[in-house]
Amino acid sequence: MTVVWRVAEAIDLELDNIHFPIDDEPKLKELEAGFNRISQGRFTVTAAARDGIVFRIQRPRKDAVSGDVASFYTRKGYNAFGIQALVDSRARFPYISMKVAASTHDFTSYTMSDLSEAIRDERLPDWAHIVLDEAYANRPQELSPYRGRNLDIWRDSFDYHLSLHRQCVERAFGILVARWGVFWRPLKVAFVRIPLLIRVCCRLHNFCVDRFGADKHSVAIARGDVQHGDSSSVLFTDGTGPSRGRRVDLEETSTRDQKRDALKEGGFLRPSHSPFSRAAR
10-residue stretch averages of pLDDT, the chain, 281 residues long: 91 96 96 96 95 92 90 88 94 91 69 82 92 87 89 95 95 93 92 95 96 75 59 58 48 84 94 63 54
List Cα–Cα distances, 234 to 45, 169, 280, in angstroms.
Answer: 28, 11, 24
Q: Provide the phi-psi class of 28: left if phi over 0, else alpha when psi is between -120 and 50, else beta.
A: alpha
CA distance 202 to 281: 19
Q: In the prediction, which pLDDT does 88 show?
A: 98
CA distance 83 to 70: 17
> For the purposes of burial, counting CB atoms within 10 Å of the CB of 29, is it exposed (0-12), middle (13-18) or buried (19 or more)?
middle
Q: In the prediction, which pLDDT does 240 show?
A: 42
List Cα–Cα distances, 227 to 177, 230, 251, in angstroms.
Answer: 15, 6, 47
Nearest Cα to 19, choosing from 10, 28, 32, 7? 28
Q: In the prediction, which pLDDT does 190 show?
A: 94
Q: In the prediction, which pLDDT does 149 show?
A: 82
Nearest Cα to 247, choosing from 102, 131, 99, 148? 148
Q: In the prediction, which pLDDT does 246 show?
A: 46
DSSP-assigned beta bridge partners for residue 275: none
DSSP-assigned beta bridge partners for residue 83: 53
Q: Phi and psi (nearest 5°) for 216? A: -65, -20
CA distance 139 to 129: 9
List Cα–Cα distances, 112 to 101, 117, 135, 232, in angstroms.
Answer: 11, 7, 15, 28
CA distance 182 to 243: 31
> For the purposes of burial, counting CB atoms within 10 Å of the CB of 189, is it exposed (0-12), middle (13-18) or buried (19 or more)?
middle
What angle in degrees, to the nearest 10, is found between the helix axes of 254-266 and 153-179?
110
Q: What is the CA radius of gyration of the chain?
A: 19
| DSSP H/E element including 53 | strand 46-56
